[in-house]
Amino acid sequence: MPEYEIDEDGLPRSIVGEWALEKHERLRKYVDITRATRRKFTIQTGSRKYVAGAAYIDLFAGPGRARIRDSTRVIDGSPVIAAKAAVASTVPFTEMHLADADQQFCDAAVKRVQAAGGIVTGY
């Protein structure tokens, strides 16, 4: 069971190493550089809402918030970062699929992603 605590919003947040900062920066960059490709599949056409869509899948989503171990720094988790970066790029994901071995983590991630403007369609 991953180490966690309760965040100010009453939902769990994980405790992670400082490595998470680099991981999240790489994720932000990936979402940003793939916006042109996502745009090709998210154009609205006639009676169809989207040509195809652009999905984000996170099989180890965690609770969507974390605290850096041995510090007071609280950060967003991967699914929240991906949702925010996609919305900021003006090409949000048309669906987001989140999973985690811990159901309370998955439930928390869904709430946080939805609050960030992400469209969670499966978990």
In this predicted model, what pLDDT tens digit does every residue of 72-115 receive, in sequence order? 999 999 999 999 999 999 899 999 999 999 999 999 999 999 99
Q: Are 49 and 38 in contact (CB under 8 A)?
A: no
4-6 and 12-16 beta bridge pairing: antiparallel
Residue 11's pLDDT band (cuts 50, 70, 90): very high
Domain harbouring 20, CATH code: 3.40.50
Residue-number span of the structural domain to which 76 is assigned: 4-122
The span from the CA of 74 to the CA of 6, in Å, is 12
What kind and span of H or E run contains 45? Answer: none
Q: For 41, which DSSP code? A: H
- Average pLDDT over the chain reads 91
**Whether the predicted pLDDT of 45 surpasses 80:** no
Number of domains in the chain: 1
